[in-house]
Amino acid sequence: MTTVVRRAFKYRFCPTDAQAAELSRTFGCVRKVYNLALAARTQAWTRQERINYNQTSAMLTAWKKSEELAYLSEVSSVPLQQALRHLQVAFTNFFARRAKYPRFKSRKRSRKSAEYTTSAFRFRDGRLTLAKMHEPLNIVWSRPLPAGVSPSTVTVSQDPAGRWFVSMLCDDPSVQPLPATDTAVGVDVGLNHLLTLSTGEKITHPRHERRDRAALAKAQRRLAKKAPGDGANRAKARRKVAKIHARITDRRRDTLHKLTTRLVRENQTLVIEDLSVRNIVKTRSLARAISDAAWADFRSMLEYKAQWYGREVIAVDRWFPSSKMCSRCGTLKKQMPLHVRTWTCGCGATHDRDVNAAKNLLAAGLAVTACGAGVGPQRSTPGGQSATKQETPRREP
């Protein structure tokens, strides 16, 4: 039985002044309801009590009837209810130890968004009209929705650069598993080259942030000179900085989408390294370059696209010595400083550091597929004796 993939199709739109005002009010009310519910649940937590979604929903009804919060009735009730559901999910993740304790939403720093379900919007003939609005949104249809499909959820948002977006969650029957192949590839991420494949191909690092670094620094200096507060000049300078950041992010994501789609279409098995990017980025000298490479985004895209198209992604343990091991004879070198990009093994093989790492990752991934987790490729010890890696060492938590 084929599972239908649910995809979010995101488009830009240009709201009228009335629509922008209505959406801005909705964003503010969503933030207010979320913070009130979080405060109520936090206070109950200090009293050793638990409040669930149904109780916060009853609180929302009482808040609307109060004189102080009567303005909550002026916007659609669906985004407010969805905010309470999102808070419930946040607490569920917290109690399951998957996330930290929920935080209050800030007027300046939090994402501006509102979620509408089917009862709060109308989608007919390619025209989307939200609750409390008389005119449909002027959407820029950069790509069509799947034929005969209607969105089940609509999320409207505004980014720091002032751009408006609408995201439609739909079932996409056009996404089907690709024909199976016997190709497999090891992928080593890096900074000199964005990706290095076990085939020997190296993909250039576009360095999107470096291209706009001078313009970004200039815009940030101008923003720093503005008087603090909510003045118009400071808001204009802040939007200038946000637009440069948005341009960098858009280019980076476009590059990653093209690369991951190509890799998934061409290979049945993809082997990557299970890197802890959150910890690696703490290295001050490499933080900017690693953030620009967006290794975490690359892995996320690769995994969900592989799931869509019937491919397999294998993550090799981060402590596997892929760079220090000879991919021909398995000899493991004791040290391999980062500045060493090419080295020669005792067996006479000369290795490019990144290509050799990608080949070792591929071998380890295929060994895991054939023999199960914890099994690695055969290697030789410095003394010349053969040894098989039974379990990859892990650090104590």
- Categorize the per-residue pLDDT at 2 as very low, low, confident or very high, splitting at 50, 70 and 90: low
State the Cα–Cα distance between residues 113 and 164, nearest whole angstrom.
Answer: 10
- Categorize the per-residue pLDDT at 370 as very low, low, confident or very high, splitting at 50, 70 and 90: low
Residue 375 scores a pLDDT above 70? no
Number of CB atoms found within 10 A of residue 41's CB: 21
Residue 396 within a domain? no
303 catalytic per annotation: no
CB 379, CB 332: distance < 8 Å: yes
Residue 127 scores a pLDDT above 90? yes
Question: With 0-12 CB in 10 A as exposed, 13-18 as middle and 19+ as buried, what is 313?
Answer: buried
Residue 102 within a domain? yes
Same domain assignment for residues 225 and 284: yes
Same domain assignment for residues 166 and 192: no
Same domain assignment for residues 166 and 233: no
Looking at 113, 143, 172, the residue that finishes a domain is: 172
Tell me how many domains the chain contains. 2
- Categorize the per-residue pLDDT at 397 as very low, low, confident or very high, splitting at 50, 70 and 90: very low
Residue 35 within a domain? yes
Same domain assignment for residues 243 and 116: no
State the Cα–Cα distance between residues 11 and 313, nearest whole angstrom.
Answer: 29
The 10s digit of each residue's pLDDT in 146-189 is: 888 899 999 999 999 999 999 999 998 888 899 999 999 999 99
Same domain assignment for residues 195 and 337: yes
More confident residue, 363 or 130: 130
Looking at 151, 172, 193, the residue that finishes a domain is: 172
Owning domain of residue 128? 5-172
Same domain assignment for residues 156 and 206: no
Same domain assignment for residues 61 and 161: yes
- Please identify which of the residues 22, 115, 188, 317 carries the catalytic annotation: 188
Looking at 137, 172, 207, the residue that finishes a domain is: 172
Residue 394 within a domain? no
Same domain assignment for residues 157 and 114: yes
CB 119, CB 82: distance < 8 Å: no
**Nearest residue to 16 via CA among 168, 109, 107, 129:** 129
The 10s digit of each residue's pLDDT in 81-122 is: 999 999 999 999 999 999 999 999 999 889 999 999 999 999
More confident residue, 140 or 335: 140
pLDDT for the residue numbered 377: 43
Residue 396 scores a pLDDT above 60? no
Same domain assignment for residues 67 and 143: yes
306: Cα within 13 Å, side-chain hemisphere: 21
Question: With 0-12 CB in 10 A as exposed, 13-18 as middle and 19+ as buried, what is 316?
Answer: buried
352 catalytic per annotation: no
Residue 177 within a domain? no
273 catalytic per annotation: yes
